[in-house]
Structures are given as structure tokens and as C-alpha cells.
Structure 1
């Protein structure tokens, strides 16, 4: 597990850096263009292809890794490579056809959002038509990442979003005043294409060489065809959730879509950067244990990963809640973003934070089922979550307006994670979660103390000024965060939480400690 922990650590750092850069890019264009109808359209056009394709992309990844890595593990490399040839070819053909269909159907799609048809219809058409072809590159990105992860290459897949973020940042700084939101749409499209293209060189460094193949009659493709439909149902439920959230949000009078998506990216994508770095490393490993029918190691690895995820995500939840105003002010309260926008975003962020642990646990348990080639149970759970999300959104919106959307989404995620815990125990037997539960209680106690400390420090620092706004906001955010993080780590270490002890052990190994010779 030490090599796994090292891989997870490296991938987590890379992905967190990628997410930070992505947040910086979104902060640049948020401040440049503000909370306007044009930015609403940009945000909507960016989300729709991603949401539509997420189901197919996730299905591709969850099918490719177990089959491809299974053949690599058993020494059937040629069979694995032929399977990859067929998957890549089918992905290009299907996404090309689907993108063309969506472009033709763009006028019909805009009927889902009457506000965009009435206020800036031409920009809406342009934005959607430019963004839909990105699904081709989304598809290749998912498949390429699956192939590289099966070879144990995790770093480059974690880096994919860095070039796209840099392209958007450069555009926002140098060209946004000249080409406006329309140019931002084109720059974003160019940036997103690089996410697949930069994975081609590392694939060439492996033994695999792509050869186009459209031969449909194949054992592995038949296996994939059986696995895909349940995955599509489960992930389509997620896509329907997100699409519903965007469409429902667009029907409120204020320009809320852009801010909703920005906060969602801030919380969910930042958190999932860590979770995906964990699942990227552990998924091929779980698939390997499943292929060998080694359920002892499978269970042990799964519980260990769940412990690691909760050890990080519970304090992250407390930390986000404690410093949400300071974080949002540092990132976007400049240019055309005002205090009202910050207050609105802070409420959205608090409501999304409620579901952070649920998001993480669900992703891990989904991968556990997929590695066992069981796609039915996650699919059923996805549908249940969709029903909970949509129903609660409609109900809560009557009482708290647009804030009902993130609250319903968080509740549905927590519900889905609890259902999966029950289902995984029925699937593979007792996971011996007693020690895990005790650790969670310790982590929650330490997180509450950390929360109170951070809130107290933030309150004290609010009454002090440190000069320039950037320095002032940075100090007011990072001092409470650093001291709070240190207090959390020390508390969990002295409470003998295994993850804290492991973390300290890895740090000590890196320190150049001099030993006296006797």
C-alpha cells in the first residue's frame, strides 16, 4: 500500500494544482465579464455538452479499465491492444455523429431555456454550436486516461486540464477586451481539445500503438456492450440531475446559472480532484484483485481508501464552511463582481458543502462495483439519487428559491452514498467497519474543533487591515487555514488516527535527519 499511497499523493498534488489553475482561469473571466446574461450563456453552453457526454464518458472509462487492465494483468497484451483499437475507433465515430446531431438540434435545445432565446438568441446558438464538437475530445480523453492508468501511468492524466486553463487565462488577460465573450467561447473550445491531445505522446511511450478497427464482432466488445447499459443508466441519472439543475436555475430572474456553476466547480471539482486522484490509482488495483478473485485484499484496500477519503473530506467540509467568504472574496471579488455576488455565492457554497463527504464516498464505492464488473447496483442508485434531487429541488425551491437546488443535490448525494454502503456490504460481505466508524468519529471531533478555531481566527483578523487588498485577503484566508489544518493534524495524530500516523511517517522519511555515529 506504500506505493499506492505515494502514487495517490503525487496525483493528488498534480490534480489540486490543476484545479487551482482552473479556478484562477474562471476567476479571471468572472471578474472581467461579471454576472451578465452573456456569461450565463457561456456557462450554460460549456456545461451542456459536458453534462450530456458525462454519462457516455464515464461508461467508457469504467468499461475500458477493467477489461484492458484485466488482459494486461493476465499477460494477454495483444488482446488488450485490439480491444483498445476498437474502443478508440468507435468513440471517434459515435461522438462525431452525436456532435453533428446536437449541432443540428441546437434550435430545439434552446427551447429548454426561454430566457436565453429571448435575450441573446444568436449568442446562445453560436455558443452551443461551437461547444458541442468538444464531445469528440471528451471521449478520447476518457479512453486515453483509462489506457494510461491501466499501464500505471497516473501523472499525465492528472495534468490534462492545465493547458486548457492556461489558454483561457492568456485570453482573459490579452484578448478579452477585443473579442469579448464570443472569443472566450472559442478560446475555451481550443483549450478543451488539448485535454485529449496532450495524452497522445505518453501513450506512444507505452508498447501500445493504435490501429483503426471497426470490427464489431469481438468477445470483449460483447462484454463491454453488456456492461455499458447499466453504467449509462446510472451516469445518465447524474447527467439528468446536472442538466435539470442548470435548466431549472436558468428560469430564476437573477443571472444565477454562471454563479451556480462557478460555486459548483469550486466545491465539487476541487473536492473531486482529490477523490479522482484516489480512484484513478485504486480502480486498476481493485480491478486486478477482482480479476484474481482476491477478495481479502479487495476489502482491505477498499476500507483503507474510504478511511483516507473521509480523513480528508470531513475537515475539508468544515474548512470550506469556515472560510467561504474569505475564499470567494480572494478569488472573484474584483472587477465586476460585488459584495452581493459574494454573499450569494457564499450561501450556495455552504449548501454544496453539506454533500462533500457523500460525493467522495459515492465515487469510491461506484468504482468498487465497476471493478467487480457490477454496473447494475450503481445504476439503480443513480436513478434513486436523480429522483431525490429533482423532487427535493422542486419542493425546496418553493421555500428558499434557487438555494433549493444545491441543498437538494447535497441531500441526494448523501443518500446515495449511504445506499451504496449498504449495497456493497451485501455484495462482498462484512467490511469490518467498526474501526472505520471509530476513526470517523475522531475525525469529526477534530474537524469541529478546527472549525471553531478557524472561525475565531477569521473573526479576529476581520478587524485588522494589512494594506493592499490582495495581501489583505490572502492573509485573512491562509493564516486561519494553515493554523486550522495544523491543529486538525495534531489532534488526529494524538487520537491515533491511522492516516495521520501514516502521513507523519512519510514526512519523516523525507526529512534529512542526521544520526550520530556511535
Structure 2
């Protein structure tokens, strides 16, 4: 468990750096260009292929890792490489066809948005430019799965760095000359490099690609058998995001804000979750292959408790300081106070569902490691159905109470996320039996109690700080965000310590061990 924790820690640090750079890149272009019709079109154009293929790409990773890692773990490298040859070739052909199809049907897609009447020509060009990036998304997900199977978790965690740097450099060097049209091209180039930077690591692992299309291959057949169910399951939240993005495209100046908040909250949370699951998933797969169900249950229990420990207080924290957070990151340049206020509300509503998302992602991996793709697929359909019904219902409800209709979109997403987590917990219990359900429940109650205490402490502190730090400089905005955040973190940590939550005990033990080791090294 220590080696697993160490691997997770390293990957988490790299992932945080990578995500922070992504955050900086979005801050740079949004504050530079502001919220406008063109920015809404850009946001929609980059989200569309991203969401579509992230669903398929995630499924690719879930399929590749169990089969590829299984052969690597049993010293059948040649068979693993042969499987990779087929997957890469078939995936590339499929994404090429998908890209061409997307380019052809782009007008029909835009007919579902307000862009059919406003900025249509630019929207059509933008969507068509971005669709081919799916080819590189496919390669990126496959390469990540292969490297994780080899025990290389660091490079996959760095994949978003090239695209972030490309966008930042473009804005500062060419931003005023080529505008948002040039930003589209820069984004495409950056996303292309997400796959290409993994090639040297794949090469060093000994893999040499040989084009191959063998639908009759046993492993390819197995992958194709698993694919439909895995795609449905992996698509749940991504297709919900696509639905939400398309829905928000019908409200003025909402797409850019909605996608920015989605990236800020959901991708940040998923970055944390994926840094955990990227290490744990191959381990669960190998335990399942060895029929070590006791180890499987213990690992699953530890990961779920870890997810709950960090994401429940994150929910409370996001709600408490949502506007301060968005104001510090994006409240500059051409972004207005109204934009910040709307974004803060979106952020708080999305935050309600993040624990559900985390639990769902972990339990999905548990099912995949057991080669059970049916139950996550069923849950995926439930999540998508609940999201559509909840979003449309809550849009009407928000309008009835005189609130912005768009509030119903993130609220519906959170309802579907919580529903999906509850359903999956019941499913996994039926699949593997009890795995410390009482312990999870007790841990959850303690963590919720500590989070409530934290929230109660943050609110008055936040009001007090806001009344004193009233300026609009980076320092003032930073104080308004950081003081309540630091106080909240300390209160939460202290509360969980006195409530004897196991995770905080593990953290303290880890810090003590690190400090002791550092002192010994210093003396030597």
C-alpha cells in the first residue's frame, strides 16, 4: 500500500502541475478576448470533438489496460504488442471516419444551437477545423493505457502540458494579430502534441508499431465485445457534458462560462480521481486475474475512502468560495462582474455532484478489472436519462422562481452524478459482496460532519475578509479567496483528526515518516 500511495502522490503532483498550466492557459485567452459570440463559438468548437472522443477514448483505455496489462504481467510482451498494433490501426481508421462524418454533419449539429442564426460561418469553420483532432485523442488514450500497464504513470499525467503551452505562447505572441481564429489553429496543434509526446516513452518501453488490422484476432474480438458496453458507461458524463454544452449554446454568453466552469471544477476533480485510478486500476486488474478478492476489496475500500475524504470537503469549499475563486482566476480584462457572478453560481451547482463523480469513476474501474462491462453500461444509461430529465425540469423550475434558466443545467448534472454513484455502490456490493460497507458509511458520516463544521467556519470568515479586502488587485482577490480556504482546510483537518478518520491518521503517519527520513539523511 505504501508503494501505491507513493505512486499516487507523485502522479498527483504532476497532474496538479499539468492542470494548473491548463488553468493558466484558459485564464490567458478568456481574459484576453473576453466573453463574446466568437469566444462562445470557440468554446463550443473545442468542446464538441473533445467530449465526443473522450467518451470513446476513455473506453479505449479501459479496454486496453486489462488486456495489455494482463499480458505484460504474465511476461507475454509479444502478444501484448501485437494487440496494440491492431488497436492503434483500427482506432486510427475509426477516428478518421468519425472526423470526416463530423465535418459533413457539422451544419446539422449547429442547427441545434443559436449559432444557426448568429456567427454561423465562423462556427461552421471552427467545428470542422477541430473534428480531426479526434485522431490524436485516440492515439493519446491508447498510449496512456500502454504506459500505465508498464508502470509509467508520470508521462500520461503530463500530456496536457504541450497544448497549454501552445495556447499561452500563441496569445502572447500572435493573439492580437490572428485573434480567435488563430487560437483555434493553435489549440489544434497543441492537442495533436498530446499524443506525440508519449511516443518516446512508448519507444523506450520496447514497442515498435506495425500496422495491423486483424478483426479475427482473439484479443481484438474480446476488445470489440467489451467496447459497446464500455463506451456507454464511459460516455455517461461526457455525453451529459455534450448535452449541457449544446443546451447552454441556446443562452446568450453562456457557453464560454459553462465550459470554463466545467473545466475548472469537473476536470480538476477528475484530474485528482484519475491520478488515483491510473495507479489503482492496473493493480485491481492484476488482483482480479489472480483471483485475490480479499486484496481487491481492501484496495477498493481504501480508494473509495480516499475519494470521499478529499471530495466531500471540496464540495463544501467550492460552494463557500465559488465567486472568489472565479473572480481571482478569470475576473480580469474583458470579463465582467456579471460574468463572474453567473460563473460562481454555476460552479457551486456543479460542485454538488463531484463526490458522486469520483465514486462512479472508481467503481467503474473495479467492474472493468473484473471484465464486467454490462453493469457500468446500465448505470451509464441511467445517468444520461436522469441528466436530461433533471436538467430540463430544473430549467423550468429555475424560470418559475425567477432565476436564470441556465442554473438548471449544472444542477441537473449533479443530480445525475449522485444518482449514478448510489446505483453503482449497490451494484458492486451485489457483485463482490460486502467490502466494508459499514466502514465506508461511518467514514462518510464523519467526513460530512467535518465538512459542515468547515463550511460554518468559512462563511463568517469570508464575509469579514470581503468587508476589509475590497480592492480589485491580485492581492485583494487572493486574500478574499485564500484566507477562508486556509481556515477551512485547517478546520477540516482538525475536525477529522478529532473524529478519528483513518485517512488523516495515514497522512500524519506519512508526514512523520518523511520528516524522520529527512532528518536521518541530513545527519548522514
Task: Tell me the distance in 2 between the aligned counterparts of 1:77 and 1:42.
Answer: 43
**CA 1:128/1:468 → structure 2, altered by over 3 Å: closer, same or farther?**
closer
The corresponding residue for 1:151 is 150
CA offset at residue 466 of structure 1? 8.2
Of 425, 432, 443, the residue aligned with 2:429 is 425
The corresponding residue for 2:340 is 342
CA offset at residue 102 of structure 1? 1.5
Q: Say whether residues 1:472 and 2:470 are aligned partners.
A: no
Deviates more, 1:498-507 or 1:371-380: 498-507
The corresponding residue for 2:351 is 353
The corresponding residue for 2:509 is 505
* Aligned partners of 2:25 and 2:164 also within 8 Å: yes
Once the two structures are superposed, what CA deviation does each residue of 1:100-133 show, in whole Å capped at 9, x if it has no partner? 22112222322222x2122111111111111001
Of 363, 366, 382, the residue aligned with 1:365 is 363
Task: Tell me the distance in 2 between the aligned counterparts of 1:294 and 1:333.
Answer: 52
Find the residue that maps to 1:316 and give its secondary structure. helix
Once the two structures are superposed, what CA deviation does each residue of 1:273-315 show, in whole Å capped at 9, x if it has no partner? 1001011110100000111111110011000000000000011
CA offset at residue 211 of structure 1? 1.7
Task: Tell me the distance in 1 between the aligned counterparts of 2:354 and 2:147.
Answer: 28
Once the two structures are superposed, what CA deviation does each residue of 1:390-414 show, in whole Å capped at 9, x if it has no partner? 0111111112111111101100000
The corresponding residue for 2:401 is none
CA offset at residue 335 of structure 1? 0.7
Deviates more, 1:444-453 or 1:122-131: 444-453
Find the residue that maps to 2:335 and give its secondary structure. coil
Normalising by structure 2, we get a TM-score of: 0.95
Q: Say whether residues 1:455 and 2:454 are aligned partners.
A: no
Of 261, 264, 268, the residue aligned with 2:262 is 264
Q: Say whether residues 1:57 and 2:61 are aligned partners.
A: no
Find the residue that maps to 1:216 and give its secondary structure. coil
Task: Tell me the distance in 1 between the aligned counterparts of 2:512 and 2:202.
Answer: 35
Find the residue that maps to 2:117 and give its secondary structure. helix
Deviates more, 1:260-269 or 1:169-178: 169-178
The corresponding residue for 2:69 is 69
Deviates more, 1:149-158 or 1:45-54: 45-54
CA offset at residue 369 of structure 1? 0.6
* Aligned partners of 2:388 and 2:412 also within 8 Å: yes
CA offset at residue 387 of structure 1? 0.8
Task: Tell me the distance in 2 between the aligned counterparts of 1:341 and 1:389.
Answer: 25
Find the residue that maps to 2:406 and give its secondary structure. helix
Q: Say whether residues 1:204 and 2:208 are aligned partners.
A: no
* Aligned partners of 2:23 and 2:264 also within 8 Å: yes
CA offset at residue 487 of structure 1? 2.3
CA offset at residue 483 of structure 1? 2.6
Task: Tell me the distance in 2 between the aligned counterparts of 1:514 and 1:232.
Answer: 50
Where do 5+ consecutive residues of structure 2 fail to align?
399-404
Where do 5+ consecutive residues of structure 1 fail to align?
none
* Aligned partners of 2:317 and 2:485 also within 8 Å: yes
Q: Say whether residues 1:21 and 2:25 are aligned partners.
A: no
Task: Tell me the distance in 1 between the aligned counterparts of 2:434 and 2:471.
Answer: 57
CA offset at residue 454 of structure 1? 2.0
Deviates more, 1:240-249 or 1:10-19: 240-249
The corresponding residue for 2:389 is 391
Q: Say whether residues 1:101 and 2:101 are aligned partners.
A: yes
Deviates more, 1:148-157 or 1:54-63: 54-63
CA offset at residue 468 of structure 1? 6.9
The corresponding residue for 1:118 is 117
CA offset at residue 514 of structure 1? 6.3
Find the residue that maps to 2:111 and give its secondary structure. helix
Task: Tell me the distance in 2 between the aligned counterparts of 1:121 and 1:68.
Answer: 44
Q: Say whether residues 1:316 and 2:314 are aligned partners.
A: yes
Task: Tell me the distance in 2 between the aligned counterparts of 1:339 and 1:33.
Answer: 16
The aligned runs of 1:171-182 (5 Å cut-off) are 171-182=170-181
Task: Tell me the distance in 1 between the aligned counterparts of 2:124 and 2:470.
Answer: 47
Task: Tell me the distance in 1 between the aligned counterparts of 2:425 and 2:89.
Answer: 36
CA offset at residue 234 of structure 1? 2.4
Task: Tell me the distance in 2 between the aligned counterparts of 1:199 and 1:495.
Answer: 44
Task: Tell me the distance in 2 between the aligned counterparts of 1:237 and 1:3.
Answer: 32
The corresponding residue for 1:380 is 378
The corresponding residue for 2:219 is 220
Task: Tell me the distance in 2 between the aligned counterparts of 1:61 and 1:323.
Answer: 35
Find the residue that maps to 1:430 and give its secondary structure. coil
Normalising by structure 1, we get a TM-score of: 0.96
Deviates more, 1:316-325 or 1:62-71: 316-325
CA offset at residue 467 of structure 1? 6.6
Find the residue that maps to 1:329 and give its secondary structure. helix
Task: Tell me the distance in 2 between the aligned counterparts of 1:431 and 1:506.
Answer: 25
The corresponding residue for 1:132 is 131
Once the two structures are superposed, what CA deviation does each residue of 1:215-258 show, in whole Å capped at 9, x if it has no partner? 22211011111111111222344443222212211122x21111
Task: Tell me the distance in 2 between the aligned counterparts of 1:188 and 1:205.
Answer: 28
Count of residue pairs the alignment pairs up: 515
Once the two structures are superposed, what CA deviation does each residue of 1:296-352 show, in whole Å capped at 9, x if it has no partner? 100110000000000000111111111111111101111111111111111111110
